[in-house]
Structure 1
Amino acid sequence: MTKNTTIEQAELGKGGPRVGVQGLGCMGMSEFYGDTDEAAARETLDAALAAGVTLFDTADVYGRGRNEEFLAPFVAAHRDGITLATKFAIERTDDPQYRGIRNDRAYIRGAVEDSLRRLGTEVIDLYYMHRRDPAVPFAESVGAMAELVQEGKVRHLGLSEVTGAELREAYAVHPIAALQSEWSLFSRDVERSAVGAAAELGVAFVPYSPLGRGFLTGAFTDAAELSAGDFRAFQPRFTGDNAKANAALLEPVRQIAQAHGATPAQIALAWVHEQAQVHGLTVVPIPGTRRPSRLAENTAATRITLTQAELALLEPIAAQVAGDRYPDMSSTSAAREE
């Protein structure tokens, strides 16, 4: 009998789109993780769709629009079979170090038009606010996003890196289908308030960097091993003494992987998928990859079930992680928790 290798589906939010229970983060296909083999990246997109992955995630900031342009031919070829997610809010200029955050109505309206043009589509299935600017009233920003739904330019709304209180505030203005924030064995600050609020409201959780930006896979143990131009070289938890301490935390992941005949990456992803049952909400992680072989490895993780004893063994890891997930945490939800 042929083994079914197609992943299951889940609904994003109340009345939201049905997608594969694992999506694909496309950021690294254009920037941040070193050079990309474009042909292999396009093969990965096709392999993802064949495996039942239907949620494809990008943002206008990835490659300053190049990632959206890269996805456009794939979107055109498969428009009715995919759920297309993109984001606005992070503003970049010719200064490579500059990162601004814009949530005002005029910016949002301009950003959506630019994304629609680059993606070559008339509607975005899931449109996220990538980062929150506390200087702009939240109701104003979400209200501007809601206008895009009313005008047929966007089907569903999402938020990224918001607290539970902010999610509730936004939901009172317009239904939110998904909350995308970092969540993994190495990053669990979202459990302070955002996860509970999402479960309460019926909002799906879309964890980004569920593999700890590759560190949980064992692919590298120190930023010094990474290629030039890899943004992980500037993240505190991957350098110096922090990297050494964090690499030592991976032993339980390796042990469990061996017991399952799996890879550490699959166990890290299986843990994220298990959080759906732990917290009572829909969880659709979006690990990024540029290689079909990694795509197959990642989707196979959806068929691994961890025991309670294994979950208990993994439980202490996040509390022991050394170093923040960004050099500047000011725009993350962790910085605004009460």
Structure 2
Amino acid sequence: MYDGSTVFCPTNRAIVGIARAVGLKSTQALLDDLAKGASSRYSNWVTKVLKFHVAVGVYTQYLLPITNDTTAGVPLNTLLTADDAAAVLMLQKAPRGKGPRSKLQVSISNPAVGARETSRVVGFNFSFTGDYVSGTDKFVAHAIDRPLVLPPSTFTNIDKLITALQGTAKISARYFRPLINTALKSNGAGTLFLPLDSAWYALGTSGPSTSWAPNYFIRAIDKNRKLRDALAKYHYVDGTITGTGNVTTLYGEPIILDSPTVGKVTGNLSPQDVATLKESYTVAQLTVNVLDGYPLLPKSTP
């Protein structure tokens, strides 16, 4: 995994910050959760966070690409950059007056939440064998004084994601919150499809806007709790989706995926019930796919 990489590794004292980011009190509590394997609640999120600490390329201390400008950084691609162009580390000199051990820092920006994190490099050229080789992997590790837990598209809870979407997913948050809360409290990964408000409005507000979905519009859904619960379950799949075609939802009816990355999703009610993927996020153990077009609609109603 680390071959050809530079690992910015939080110190033993700092690593607890990853556990605390998800509300756990200790590193051991997080390790106990990760030991559950497929039933781990935080595995997806932790994997994404840790990959963000691994830069592509082997940079020992004096090969680190830095400039003398403390206001500008040099971007380093990470193991996440191939999937998310914003997932880069910024390497730069620290401002003066921070002490002799703070001459270099790495930082991360998450535009979705308007946040920026910075960690200082407190040790260079750590390896476990002395020659930067572990098995067949050749890499170098530098110690940092705090973990970076805000990679782009990664959130510790659903409220932070809803806030980051800047008011464009309020309806789904209202309809799906009971199911989301239950899913986040359970063990195991899950996949949630989250329609934007524009997708719900496409069904109609006080009456149906489509001939193929006459029973689905916002006022009807607002008045029917069982219908809201059914729609929430129809937008949720246990586990991580890796295939295409028919995928069975928690509601029991299938949705149809056209690609492993879920570029287009079709509901079971009609071939016209098509949603398109806008973005994907990681929220704790959940993969959340934000959709536009139409919400996904089942054939049967409660």
TM interval, short-chain normalised: under 0.3
Larger Rg: 2
Compute the TM-score of the two structures, normalised by the length of structure 2.
0.28
Q: Which has the higher strand share?
A: 2
Higher helix share: 1
